[in-house]
Amino acid sequence: MPEQPGGEGADSNLWRRRLTRALAESLPAEQAPPGTSGTRRPRQPPPRRAGVLIPIAGGNEPSIYFTQRSNALRHHPGQISFPGGSVEDFDASTEAAALREAHEEIGLDPDSVEILGRLPQYRTVTGFDISPYVGWIAPGTTVTPDQSEVVRIFSVPLEFALDHRQFSRHELEYDGRQLTVYSIDYDDNHIWGATAGMLYGLLKRLAITERREMGSLKGNTGNT
């Protein structure tokens, strides 16, 4: 099962600081990534709340964990996703739901996860309002798939997963609506739909924050 070596290198600490700064900033008029459904149609049931964890494993080379869902599941069987699921009545919050689902699906101890922040709510065309949380996993943490829900766990280097050059953009029609969706491929793994959309949202958030920081730095330099 995947396990991160103990200790964190300079690259890992740098990524952690970058993500923490980006997720701490409240960006004006921030929108959910393209591919979400927008307003729902009349007579449609209200969307169901869900919590998702974007699990980033520390160590010398940080990476993001993904799961492949069991074909026996009702929702999105066989697809690649982040750990997560519907918010239940006993969950204290969407964050609690994300951590609970990660524990159930991949055996991730909630005490080993530091929540760095939350991305904007992501509404799917299948009727879910997802709250994505970015979690940093302590080095040395082991994860194990629950075979009833998860076929396998694999990791993608963080540097690759947050590189805009790796993403493809697609237009498709769903239930009479034109949608924009993203995808990213790593080895033989095709990551698309809401999972790729949330990942692209994290990339976008990071890029916007760092462009602002660079602009502010240049502005301050010009005033000296």
| Residue 189 β-bridge partners | 186
Q: Can you give the CATH number for the domain in which 65 is found? A: 3.90.79.10
54 vs 41, 63, 67, 212, 222, CA distance in Å? 29, 11, 11, 24, 38
Query: The whole model's pTM is what?
Result: 0.85
176 assigned to some structural domain? yes
pLDDT tier, 34 (very low <50, low <70, confident <90, very high otherwise): very low
Listed in order, strand segments (DSSP E) in 177-224 are 177-186, 189-192
223 assigned to some structural domain? no
In this structure, are residues 3 and 65 in contact, taking their beta carbons and an 8 Å threshold?
Answer: no
pLDDT tens for each residue of 62-108: 999 999 987 666 666 678 999 999 999 999 999 999 999 999 999 99
Mean pLDDT over the full length of the chain: 84
105 assigned to some structural domain? yes
- Say whether pLDDT at 47 is over 70: yes
- Say whether pLDDT at 222 is over 60: no
pLDDT of residue 1: 53
Domain count, the chain: 1
Higher model confidence: residue 37 or residue 41? Answer: 41
pLDDT of residue 91: 95
1 assigned to some structural domain? no
74 assigned to some structural domain? yes
177 assigned to some structural domain? yes
pLDDT tens for each residue of 132-168: 999 999 888 999 999 888 999 999 999 999 999 999 9
- Say whether pLDDT at 40 is over 60: no
pLDDT of residue 63: 95
111 assigned to some structural domain? yes
Core vs surface per residue 121-150: b (16+ CB within 10 A) or e: ebbbbeebbbbbbbbbbbbebebebeeebb
Core vs surface per residue 175-208: b (16+ CB within 10 A) or e: eeeebebbbbebeeeebbbbbbbbbbbbbbbbee
Range of the domain at 123: 10-39+46-212
Q: Rounded CA gap, 144 and 172, in Å?
A: 35
User: What is the mean predicted confidence (pLDDT) over 98-123?
Assistant: 95
219 assigned to some structural domain? no
